Amino acid sequence: MITNIFIHPSTFFILGALLLPLLKKIKLDKIFLIAIPIIAMIQINFLPASFGVCEYLGFKLTFGKVDKLTYVFLHVFTLMSLIGCLYSMHVKDTGHHVAGLLYVGASLGVTLAGDYVTIFIFWELMAFASTFLIWYRRKKQSIEAGFRYLLVHMVGGLILLAGIFLRYKNIHDLSFTRIDVHAAGLAEYLIMIGFMLNAAVPPIHAWLPDAYPEATVAGAVFMCAFTTKTAVYVLARAFPGFEVLAILGAIMTIYGVAYAVIENDARRILAYHIVSQVGYMVCGVGIGTEMAINGACAHAYAHIIYKALLFMGAGSVLEMTGRSKLNELGGLYKYMPYALIFTVIGGISISGFPLTSGFVSKSMIVAAAGEHHRVGLMIMLLIASVGTFLSVGIKMPYFIWFGNKESDIQPKDPPWNMNVAMFIAAFICFFLGVYPDYLYKMLPYAVNYHPYTSYHLSESMQILAFTGFGFYLMVNKLKPDPKINLDVDWFYRKGTIAFMWLAKKPIAIVNDWVNEVYKTVGLKLTMSLAHAFSWFDKEGIDWTIDGAAENVVCGGGYLRNIQTGKIQHYIGGAVVLLFIVLAVIIF
């Protein structure tokens, strides 16, 4: 009975990750890399509503709790893992694949978790596994960025854990359910901060644009999909209708695009743009109406695919040229035309062109804000969509593939597996745009929204086309500079320098002084004590030990005589021993 299969979908990924090094020995690793996501994609359709409930240390753990909200995220995560595995298939580091699979497995674990302890375990595994996707780039900047990424996530994890402990102390219940706005106290807000860190809500977002551009080409494709979107999922599950999320989400959308407009590194532009896009989802969760939650889920689904497509496009340029900074690129349209087409498809989808997935998903959140009479939020979201098209839709492809200059390098289009992965993602972008019901049917609430009205078409086309016109007017002002821009990571990146100075200068001086004191006073004291102990050791302890050692040597001599080296003697001895044991037991 296929309906009875309720293996946790993470099991495939985690077992696969553990077995992958062995499978590589028999050259089956690539087949499994593709087979695992496909099996998971099929299997999530047959999950029961609840499974894997167990007691551990007095806590009731629920590894699997499935409803419509879970399903839509499971669906896109497994689909994305297939695209990601396909895209990274040519990577030779088995460790990279292991980290990728573990990362996906952990994010599925979070999505399915029914209690906070399970969430926390998978939450940490996610941070740990994804760090390796940064480190496998093997550059100095990547190693450093990886450490910063890991440390920031550990802090976030600890805040989450503190919240979980407090909540358990207050209500003695760890089940992961919707939290009422009026019942939320310190514990709940700590949990929310832990989640918001992974969703990259400013001012705790700087880890994302710091780390993602330093990850490996394929690693960034995985990372852009899972960490932030599991955070959106847990926020949507626990904190719908929290006003603070609506406001921070709307601010995020503009904050992210503002940096995307000025950044130089293609993958950093995309990373900042994740902040902006996740802002739409966080805002949707914060508005909290059925339509807004639907919009957040739909947007998460669409966003994972087109953002991955954009990262794949920019990544393929990095893979083939070794460059990702816009000022070093330009004129590639002659050499990498397919990567251009795919990236532009990602760009127009993210901007919400009609017939693409962004058009049917983003607008749902904007409309939900409008229907909830939140005009301020709605305008902010629309401002962000102008910036989206400006930065990711036009600026990035323009300066990589055109930029009004000839390319000084002649790269080829990327390997076939990368192209296939990009093709699949591009296809899904159009498929969802043309046939939105496929997505709408998966959403947690019934959808009563029609994206293709003449007014919505007119509104979108005006905003997008005239943003393009603005770009045309100002293209010279947007010329990329080989610079970086400060963000709030300044506080901990420069802060550590201050800390190191503190460690080197004042603390080192105190340390030296203590050393001097020790040399003059302590050392003499210690030496005389040592002499005293040495005398005691010689006269007292050695006498005892030596005596014991002599006895052992004597005993060893006797034992040597017994060991004849003949097997029959040993068997005889064993039998005698057996009889003695039997005798002891019987009598």
Partner 1 sequence: MAKLLSFLYDKSNIVKWFFFALLIFIIVFDYFAERHAAHFFGDNIIGFWTIFGVFICLAMIIICKGLSHVWLMKGEDYYDN
Residue (196 or 250) nearer to partner 1, CB:
250
Determine if 269 is a binding residue for partner 1 (CB under 8 A): no
Residue placing its CB nearer to partner 1 in the complex, 164 or 269: 269
**Residue number, 115 or 263, with CB nearest to partner 1:** 263
Kindly state the helix (H) or strand (E) to which residue 217 belongs, with its residue range: helix 217-238
Residue of 15, 184, 261, 420 interacting with partner 1 (CB under 8 A): 261
Comparing CB distances to partner 1, the nearer of 191 and 318 is: 318
- Residue identified by tokens 């879970």 is 70
Is residue 483 within the footprint of partner 1 (CB under 8 A)? yes
Least distance between partner 1 and beta carbon 423 (Å): 13
> Which neighbouring-strand residues pair with 53?
62
End-to-end CA, the chain: 57
3-state secondary structure 25-65: HCCCHHHHHHHHHHHHHHHHHHCCCEEEEEEECCEEEEEEE
- Minimal distance, residue 383 CB to partner 1, in Å: 5
Nearer to partner 1, 335 or 440 (CB): 335
Binding-site member from 117, 174, 258, 285 for partner 1 (CB under 8 A): 258
Q: By CB under 8 A, is residue 411 in contact with partner 1?
A: no
C-alpha 529/C-alpha 349 separation (Å) is: 78
Binding of residue 24 to partner 1 (CB under 8 A): no
314 binding partner 1? (CB under 8 A): no
Is 562 a binding residue for partner 1 by CB under 8 A? The answer is: no
CA 64 to each of CA 47, 67, 203: distance values in angstroms, whole numbers, following the listed order: 9, 10, 33
Provide the minimum distance between the beta carbon of 503 and partner 1 in the complex, in angstroms, as a whole number.
Answer: 18
Q: Which residues contact 314 (CB under 8 A, 6 or more apart)?
A: 266, 267, 270, 324, 343, 396, 400
Q: How far is the CB of 360 from partner 1 (least distance, A)?
A: 18
Among 174, 390, 428, 432, binds partner 1 (CB under 8 A): 390
CA distances to 258, 381, 410, 451 from 456, rounded to whole Å, are 25, 15, 42, 7
Q: Is the peptide bond before 203 cis (omega within 30 degrees of 0)?
A: yes
Closest CA to 414 of 344, 337, 309, 325: 337
Our finding on whether 359 is near partner 1 (CB under 8 A) is no
Please identify, using beta-carbon distances, which residue of 147 and 402 lies nearer to partner 1: 402
Distance CA 112, CA 217 (A): 28
Q: How far is the CB of 47 from partner 1 (least distance, A)?
A: 39
Question: Minimum Å distance from CB 75 to partner 1?
Answer: 31
For 110-133, the DSSP string reads HHH--BHHHHHHHHHHHHHHHHHH
Length of the chain: 587
Contacts of 71 (CB under 8 A, 6+ apart): 44, 442
For residue 371, state whether it binds partner 1 (rule: CB under 8 A). Answer: yes
Identify which of residues 55 and 408 has a Cβ nearer to partner 1 in the complex.
408
Q: Is 333 in the site for partner 1 (CB under 8 A)?
A: yes
DSSP 165-219: HHHHHHHS--B--PPPGGG--HHHHHHHHHHHHHHT-TTS-THHHHHGGGS-HHH
To partner 1, the closest distance from the beta carbon of 489 in angstroms equals 9
User: Cβ of residue 96: shortest distance to partner 1, in angstroms?
Assistant: 26
> Which is nearer to partner 1, 61 or 381 (by Cβ)?
381
Quick check: 545 binds partner 1 (CB under 8 A)? no
Q: Which is nearer to partner 1, 65 or 374 (CB)?
A: 374
Q: At residue 424, what are phi and psi to the nearest 5 degrees?
A: -60, -45
Minimal distance, residue 416 CB to partner 1, in Å = 15
Query: Under the criterion CB under 8 A, does residue 563 sit at the interface with partner 1?
Result: no
Residue in 15, 386, 420, 434 binding partner 1, rule: CB under 8 A: 386
Cβ 288 to partner 1, closest distance in Å?
A: 18
- Identity at 337, one-letter amino acid code: P
Residue whose entry in the numeric block shows the structure tokens 């959403």? 443
**Long-range contact list for 165-168, CB < 8 A, 24+ apart?**
166/190, 167/116, 167/191, 168/116
317, two tokens? 């340029």
Q: Which residue lies nearer to partner 1 by CB, 17 or 208?
A: 208
* The only residue of 48, 185, 337, 522 in contact with partner 1, by rule CB under 8 A: 337
What are residue 325's DSSP bridge partners? 265
Nearer to partner 1, 118 or 419 (CB): 419
- Whether the Cβ atoms of residue 279 and residue 252 lie closer than 8 Å to each other: yes
170 makes contact with partner 1 (CB under 8 A): no
Alpha helices of 352-411 — where are they, by DSSP H? Answer: 357-371, 375-388, 396-397
Cα(28)–Cα(42) distance, rounded to whole angstroms? 21
Give the shortest CB-359-to-partner 1 separation in angstroms.
15
Q: Which of 275, 388, 389, 261 is nearest to 326 (CA)?
A: 261
Which parts of 423-482 interact with partner 1 (CB under 8 A)? 453-455, 457-459, 461-474, 477-478, 481-482
Nearest approach in angstroms of CB 373 to partner 1 is 8
Min separation Cβ 412 and partner 1, Å: 11
Q: Which of 209, 387, 414, 451 binds partner 1 (CB under 8 A)?
A: 387
Residues forming the site for partner 1 (CB under 8 A): 257-259, 261-262, 333-335, 337-338, 340-341, 370-371, 373, 375, 378, 382-383, 386-387, 390, 402, 453-455, 457-459, 461-474, 477-478, 481-487, 493-494
